[in-house]
Amino acid sequence: MIRLRPGGERGHTRLGWLDSRHSFSFDHYYDPNFMGFRHLRVLNEDFIAPGRGFGAHPHRDMEIVTYVLEGSLEHKDSMGNGSVIRPGEVQRMSAGTGVTHSEHNHSPSEPVHLFQVWILPRRQGIQPSYEQRAFPMEQARGALLLLAAGDQGGKDEAGEAKEGRVEETEEMVL
């Protein structure tokens, strides 16, 4: 059953440089009634102070999707990827057998506002991978926009987003 949870009831972490809201149990926030939803494990809204961020840290067997609303987020990882994610852009990282990455606010003066989603993959131990794609902001205003889906059900033969059920995934696609 899907239950409405007002934003003010979400978990909250404030570290000075990070102001984060957690829809599900995460890090030091624990609520046994909100451990995730099916394969969805993390749905965080983060505000990161200028020039600050998460140092290098490891992940494995997780699909991580990041969507930037305001500001810019710098990403570097052990696969050799380095990029800056801007508003309207989505990053997908399949941690698979293991990846180390860092995320920092790219701006020395403006905060970055983002959503991060973690989804359990259908199969563990896949090859780590990375993808980044821009979605025109005009498409997102006042509408639902499919940003990521399982490789089995997300797009039709022409590469367009399919309607209907999104399948669980070995690897997410943007």
Greater confidence (18 vs 151) lies with 18
Strand, coil or helix: 9: helix
- Prediction pTM value: 0.82
Greater confidence (145 vs 174) lies with 145
Task: Give pLDDT tens digits for 77-123.
Answer: 999 999 999 998 999 999 999 999 999 999 999 999 999 999 999 88
Q: Cα–Cα distance between 88 and 161 in angstroms, integer?
A: 17
DSSP 139: H
Strand, coil or helix: 49: coil
Q: Cα–Cα distance between 15 and 55 in angstroms, integer?
A: 14
Q: Does domain 9-136 have CATH number 2.60.120.10?
A: yes
- pLDDT of 87 reads 93
- pLDDT of 122 reads 86
Q: How confident is the model at residue 5 (pLDDT cuts 50, 70, 90)?
A: confident
Domain limits of the chain?
Answer: 9-136
The mean pLDDT value of the chain amounts to: 85
- pLDDT of 155 reads 54
Is the per-residue pLDDT at 72 higher than 90? yes
- pLDDT of 160 reads 56
